[in-house]
Amino acid sequence: MHLKKVTITDVAEHAGVSVTTVSMVLGNKGRISPDTADKVNKAVTELGYVRNRAAANLRSNSSEIVGLILKDISDPYYAQVAAGLCEETEKQGYMVFLAQSGDAEKFEQCMLTMARQGVGGIAFCPTNENQQVDADVLKAHNLPLVCISRASVNHQIDYVGPDNASAAKMATEYLIEQGHRRIAYVGGKSSSLCRAERVGGYCSTLMQFGLPFKPEWVVECEPGQAPAAKAVEALLASHPQISAVLCHYSSTAVGAVQGVHRLGRDVGNDTIFNKEISIVGFDAVQEAELTEPPIVFVNSDAKEIGRQAAKRLIEQLEKSDSAPRKIIVAPSLTNLPT
């Protein structure tokens, strides 16, 4: 059966008012009496009229949809960012148009497509920590923008992210308070801005407490449990005096446990006989809950980062607040032994 699409003209005729009046009621604009508004809303319900939101957005030069571009939807960290952003936008009456960009070319295409689709603003994660984000090119789309990243990439665009240096300082201080004096750092690449900030916090904390910083104890490795296990095994075999390892990725921390076990050692906090190795990671994931003992993590709440990005984007949309801001979400320690 073919059903005729109900138009705004049909609603106006059914309610006995003008098309302009119906438009004003639907857009919640102008001075309309409660009785007239009730007539229009009743007609909308009775006829089953479905408002064309896209057309309404074009007419009013506004949108109830915001864009979110993630570099990898499957990454647990960015999945939490998306969850926080969606919760906050929906709470404030907006919906999210989600896209994934694996490289710089795809990122540009996602940005252009979203602009053409009439989104009100875009929150985005750079495709990598060293991506050169051209603020002028992005702003040419005339859209509010918020960059969500693990390291700041451009001070001309609103930025929401973690305090990497403080997180590393917190983790290193925790290990020192537990009695460790020989602490290594494993994971990440030297080209990573996030890693540079974390290693800086780790190094400065060692120096603050008068402890040695040994470059050979700072080891690069790819993300993933297998590369981490191999890297930690090799590091501890060459430097058995190390008693604690600070791990760049959550997967590095989980893999480090296997690397420790391969050498016949255990994970724990024995700082006297040096038979156990303490492991601390960044940004906990569910897999880490299965380790025994549980791995201590320094978390920069990814969900809160998403919420803050949504709030900032909506502020720009509703208040035309264009002055760039930098919003930092403070870290906290989790899984502390009781």
Q: What is the pLDDT of residues 164-190, one digit of tens each?
A: 999 999 999 999 999 999 999 999 999
Q: What confidence tens digit (pLDDT) does each residue in 10-29 have?
A: 888 999 998 888 878 877 66
CATH architecture of 8-51: Orthogonal Bundle (1.10)
* CATH topology identical between 8-51 and 65-162+303-329: no
Residue 202: closest CA among 173, 170, 169, 175: 169
The yes-or-no verdict on residue 80 having pLDDT over 80 is yes
pLDDT given for residue 30 in this prediction: 67
**Cα separation, 266 vs 71, whole angstroms:** 36
| CATH number of the 65-162+303-329 domain | 3.40.50.2300
pTM of structure:
0.77
Q: What is the per-residue pLDDT across 188-223, written as a single tens digit (0 to 9) for each?
A: 999 888 999 999 999 999 999 999 899 999 999 998
The pLDDT of residue 59 is above 60: no
Which whole number is the average pLDDT over 237-257?
A: 95
pLDDT for 272? 64
pLDDT tens digits, one per residue of 252-295? 999 999 999 999 999 987 766 667 999 999 987 766 666 678 88
Q: Which residues fall within 8 angstroms of residue 283, CB to CB, at 6 or more apart?
A: 77, 249, 250, 297, 298, 299, 300, 302
Domain boundaries, given as residue ranges, for the chain: 8-51, 65-162+303-329, 164-299
Separation of alpha carbons 315 and 320, rounded Å:
7
Domain 164-299: which topology? Rossmann fold (3.40.50)
128-148 pLDDT, tens per residue? 766 666 666 666 667 888 999
86-122: per-residue pLDDT in tens?
A: 999 998 888 999 999 878 788 888 888 888 788 888 9
Q: Is the pLDDT of residue 58 over 50?
A: no
Please name the residues in contact with 22: beta carbons below 8 A apart, sequence gap of 6 or more: 8, 11, 12, 15, 40, 43
Asked whether residue 238 carries a pLDDT value surpassing 60, the answer given is yes
**Mean pLDDT computed over 295-324:** 88
Q: First CA to last CA across the chain, in angstroms?
A: 67
